[in-house]
């Protein structure tokens, strides 16, 4: 067994349990399960990359962990703190994706998959932005 396998197993088992607890409406157990997901992903990534991590990727995991802390504490300012952490994570992920995109070589047969991916992401963004909030 590889050293990264236990954290990957923990991630998938916890993910399944969180979905199950959400369906059964056990909010306390959902909250506990969600707080295990990001550290298990970090351990998997850290071990699978031979215990090396760049500053930006470490910052992404740190911001996700801080977001989980905001969610767990559930204080009045936690929504804004959680939003700012996720916004920073998305900006950093876009920067890393743009930097890695320069080195990718696409063939003609990849164009349909890329088109479907962009169309799907656009549909998700459109549907999320058109949600009507209760307030």
What are the tens digits of pLDDT across the range 60-90? Answer: 888 888 888 887 777 777 778 888 888 898 8
- Among 37-41, 105-109, 115-119, top mean pLDDT goes to 115-119
Domain ranges of the chain: 1-53
Q: Is the pLDDT of residue 134 over 70?
A: no
Q: Check: CB of residue 64 under 8 Å from CB of residue 88.
A: no
CB-based burial label for 39 (10 Å; 0-12, 13-18, 19+): middle
What are the tens digits of pLDDT across the range 6-41? Answer: 877 888 888 888 888 888 888 888 888 877 887 888
pTM: 0.66
- What b-and-e string marks burial along 53-66, b requiring 16 or more CB atoms within 10 Å of the CB? eeeebeebbebbeb
């Amino acid at each position: 067994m590889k050293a990264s396998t236990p954290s990957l197993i923990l991630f998938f088992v916890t993910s399944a349990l969180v979905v199950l607890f959400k369906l059964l409406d056990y909010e306390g157990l959902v909250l506990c399960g969600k707080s295990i997901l990001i550290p298990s992903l970090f351990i998997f990534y850290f071990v699978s990359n031979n215990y090396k991590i760049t500053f930006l990727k470490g910052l992404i995991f740190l911001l996700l962990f801080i977001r989980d802390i905001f969610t767990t504490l559930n204080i009045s300012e936690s929504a804004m703190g959680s939003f700012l952490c996720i916004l920073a994570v998305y900006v950093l992920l876009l920067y890393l994706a743009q930097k890695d995109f320069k080195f990718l070589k696409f063939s003609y047969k990849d164009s349909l998959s890329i088109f479907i991916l962009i169309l799907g992401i656009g549909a998700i963004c459109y549907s999320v932005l058109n949600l009507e909030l209760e307030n």
